[in-house]
């Protein structure tokens, strides 16, 4: 099968041909119809995870996928050949990614049924960003009337978080810097906009003198936005790995991590299929053009970028 690999640390990405993997017990093989780009993939390609996770070279890149089950390992009763599925490759090592024609994944985590109403591109764009946004919303404990500043609202995670926060009844202040970005986050439920090329905290405090109840931090320097949080507020971040990274008295710093369990994935898919949420796919790239997709992602894409093997 054709895949995009990192052949070794420090090398460029390569379009390669490798043996099609077989599912082991408890696994299924998925014919990938679409995958999507996440910051995690760029980090792996740059070698940033060298000391944090085992790499099995050549490392096939890619976390998110959507496609059709085409082979079943022993003991799998939850899925059958022909099922439409989506998910996030969630393994203890790196190497068996989704940027290829097939991916093998366990059924116990990172996999769920893709409802018929959702096309493969949007299914592939939902998993990691959606589960990260859901983890952030759960940690935020929003109540109707809460004010929440979402920093990085125009990205894949931010897009989902804006919708989930608005549907929880919160007043959403979103960052955006372009007319298209502003229009996008307003459509998703933001009622106030802050240009993140300006001083975000100053702009927020001008209208909310006591600060906001919650900051959802998905981009930029955490220290510069922290002053916008009220005393006793919650600072929820996908980028801060530990509360010690921020010196902050009288507030809670909550690092969050995507947890793509089948239950959370199914909840996200149900909400998307019912039209309560949406996924914005801003561009699609052939497998051979993953490097171009990475460049566009790095330059600050709105929404999600999809890879079509």
Residues making contact with ligand NAP (CB under 6 A): 38-40, 128-129, 132, 151-152, 154-158, 175, 177, 196, 218-220, 238-239, 257-258, 297, 300, 302
Residue 20 or 199: the one with the smaller Cβ distance to ligand NAP is: 199
Cα-Cα-Cα-Cα dihedral sign, residues 170, 171, 174, 178: positive
Query: What is d(CA 106, CA 273) in angstroms, rounded to the nearest whole number?
Result: 24
CA proximity to 304, closest of 54, 50, 65, 58: 65
Residue (33 or 304) nearer to ligand NAP, CB:
304
Residue 53: other Cβ atoms inside 10 A? 14
What minimum distance in Å lies between the beta carbon of 299 and ligand NAP? 7
CB 118 within 8 A of CB 272: yes
Distance, CA of 105 to CA of 83 (rounded, Å): 14
Q: Which residue has the tokens 């999600």?
A: 304
Residue pointed to by tokens 């229009």: 183
Which of residues 207 and 221 has its CB atom nearest to ligand NAP in the complex?
221
- Which residues are CB-contacts of 183 (< 8 A; sequence separation ≥ 6)? none
- Give the up-direction half-sphere exposure of residue 207: CA atoms within 13 A in the CB hemisphere: 12
Give the nearer residue to ligand NAP in terms of CB position, either 104 or 225: 225
β-pairing, 281-286 vs 304-308, is parallel
| Nearest distance in Å: CB 112, ligand NAP | 17
Q: Which is nearer to ligand NAP, 2 or 186 (CB)?
A: 186
Q: Which two tokens stand for residue 190?
A: 């933001």
Least distance in angstroms from the C-beta of 258 to ligand NAP: 4
Q: Tell me the closest approach of the beta carbon of residue 74 to ligand NAP, in angstroms.
A: 31
Q: Which residue is nearest to ligand NAP (CB)?
A: 155
Q: Which one, 40 or 120, has the nearer CB to ligand NAP?
A: 40
Residue 109 CB, shortest distance to ligand NAP, in Å, is 14
Q: How far is the CB of 162 from ligand NAP (least distance, A)?
A: 11
Pick 23 or 156: Cβ nearer ligand NAP: 156
Q: How far is the CB of 157 from ligand NAP (least distance, A)?
A: 4
Structure tokens at 188: 């998703």
Q: Is 263 helix (H, G, I), strand (E, B) or coil?
A: helix
């Amino acid at each position: 099968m054709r895949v995009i690999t990192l052949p070794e640390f420090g090398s460029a990405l390569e379009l390669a041909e490798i043996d099609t993997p077989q599912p082991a017990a408890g696994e299924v093989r998925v014919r990938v119809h679409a995958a999507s780009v996440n910051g995690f993939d760029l980090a792996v390609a740059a070698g940033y995870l060298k000391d944090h996770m085992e790499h099995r070279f050549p490392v096939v890149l890619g976390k998110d996928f959507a496609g059709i089950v085409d082979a079943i390992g022993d003991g799998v009763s939850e899925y059958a050949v022909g099922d439409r599925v989506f998910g996030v490759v969630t393994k203890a090592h790196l190497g068996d990614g989704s940027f290829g024609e097939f991916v093998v994944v366990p059924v116990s985590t990172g996999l769920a049924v893709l409802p018929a109403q959702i096309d493969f591109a949007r299914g592939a764009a939902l998993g990691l960003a959606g589960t990260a946004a859901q983890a952030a919303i759960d940690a935020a404990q929003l109540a109707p009337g809460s004010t929440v500043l979402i920093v990085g609202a125009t990205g894949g995670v931010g897009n989902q978080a804006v919708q989930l926060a608005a549907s929880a009844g919160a007043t959403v202040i979103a960052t955006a810097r372009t007319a298209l970005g502003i229009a996008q986050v307003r459509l998703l439920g933001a009622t106030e906009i802050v240009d993140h090329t300006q001083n975000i905290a100053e702009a927020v405090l001008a209208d909310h003198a006591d600060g906001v109840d919650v900051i959802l931090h998905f981009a930029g320097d955490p220290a510069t936005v922290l002053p916008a949080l009220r005393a006793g507020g919650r600072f929820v971040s996908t980028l801060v790995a530990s509360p010690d990274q921020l010196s902050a008295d009288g507030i809670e710093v909550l690092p969050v991590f995507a947890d793509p369990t089948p239950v959370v994935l199914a909840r996200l898919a149900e909400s998307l299929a019912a039209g309560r949420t949406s996924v914005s796919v801003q561009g699609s790239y052939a497998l051979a053009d993953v490097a171009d997709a990475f460049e566009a992602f790095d330059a600050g894409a709105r929404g999600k970028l999809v890879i079509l093997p």
